[in-house]
Amino acid sequence: MTDPPPEHTRRRRYPGRNPRAFHDKYKELNPEKYPADVQKILASGKTPAGTHLPIMVEEVLGCLRPRAGEVAVDCTLGGGGHALAILERVRPGGRLIGLDVDPFELPRAEARIRAAGFGPDEFVARHANFAGLPKALAAEGLTQVDMILADLGVSSMQFDNPDRGFSYKGVGPLDMRMNPQRGETAAQLVTRSSEAELARLLDENADEPHADLIARLLKQKPVATTHAVDRLLRAGITAALPRLEKADVKMSIRRTFQALRIAVNDEFSALDALLRSVPLCLAPDGRIAIITFHSGEDRRVKKAFQAGYRAGVFSAIAGEVVRSTKEETFSNRRAQAAKLRWAVRVPFTDA
């Protein structure tokens, strides 16, 4: 007896000509099935929902200079775009270790890289925070590698999906955890923090000029969703600062989400730990490249590289930040804020 055919289910209808909600964008969420439609979106200068376009790939390759037989670490695997470009250039004999703290996106990236033909002898994926880079290397029987890459931005898959709570553009829980399986949510952070503590993290994590006002607004009533925060701040800031331009109000809301995300994931501490471990984990003449997206990250990377250069740890560092080209910024708007810095380890180990 044969099993009956599966019951056909109609795709959920949405109002209007094109779907607006993230989960309704079935074509963008299935790029392999609808390549022509996705290409139209890319040609218009937009990033398809749920799709991550790696930023400054050629510039990263120019800084890292991958060669056959070398070993690399991608500290923020994300969608695997940078990793694929590096893997192609370390063949034959090379390998790449991909780290990511996101338990949902990591297996998807690994599947994408496996489908491109890279086996376990060339690529290893590890669910780990880059703050523990030495431990991750030790698990692979390594102490040093030839290349280290860290792309510190939130991936498009995380940012676009309202269920993750990273953006006020979609309705979702105020979560923001890179690893949703551990730690407190942004809503819990706001609830337990005092007004003074919130003002401090808004200032330190996002250079928010209206930190005191926003902290006071956030403590007015419990907030559990991204839209609740958006509505609360939009109305509160406008009422308190009626002469403030709408664009400036929107920017303050964006900075608030940034500050909360950094605090929830303890991002600055993780970056500081990575920067401390680089001299130990980078082989002689090894290269490191880090992409940052806001001033707090860039300051840390710049100062660490400068200090390493003065101490004789690095033989060369970036004099100026590397920016994306105009063409890339048009095709991928999220590249606009990216800053790339690099450094080269001295060619001997006792520096």
Total count of residues recorded for the chain: 351
- Dihedral sign, CA of 247, 249, 254, 255? positive
Domain definitions of the chain by residue range: 57-156+268-345, 157-266
Q: How far apart, in Å, are the Cα atoms of 306 and each of 29, 286, 319, 320?
A: 42, 16, 9, 12
CA 92 to chain centre: 29
Three-state secondary-structure class, residue 188: helix
Kind of pairing between the strands at 145-151 and 95-100: unpaired
Asked if 74 and 96 count as a contact pair (C-beta separation under 8 A), the reply is yes
**Confidence band of 25 (pLDDT split at 50, 70, 90):** very low
What is the rounded distance in angstroms from the CA atom of residue 304 to the CA atom of residue 285? 17
142: left (phi over 0), alpha (psi -120 to 50) or beta: beta
What is the rounded distance in angstroms from the CA atom of residue 199 to the CA atom of residue 156? 28
User: Under CATH, which number does the domain 57-156+268-345 receive?
Assistant: 3.40.50.150
How high is the mean pLDDT of the chain? Answer: 88
Instruction: Please check the confidence at residue 194 and state whether its pLDDT lies above 60.
Output: yes
**Tens-digit pLDDT profile for residues 195-216:** 999 999 999 999 999 999 999 9
What is the rounded distance in angstroms from the CA atom of residue 155 to the CA atom of residue 54? 9
Three-state secondary-structure class, residue 257: helix
**Confidence band of 51 (pLDDT split at 50, 70, 90):** low
Domain topology for 157-266: DNA polymerase; domain 1 (1.10.150)
> Which stretch of 93-107, 134-148, 166-180, 265-279 has the lowest confidence by average pLDDT?
166-180
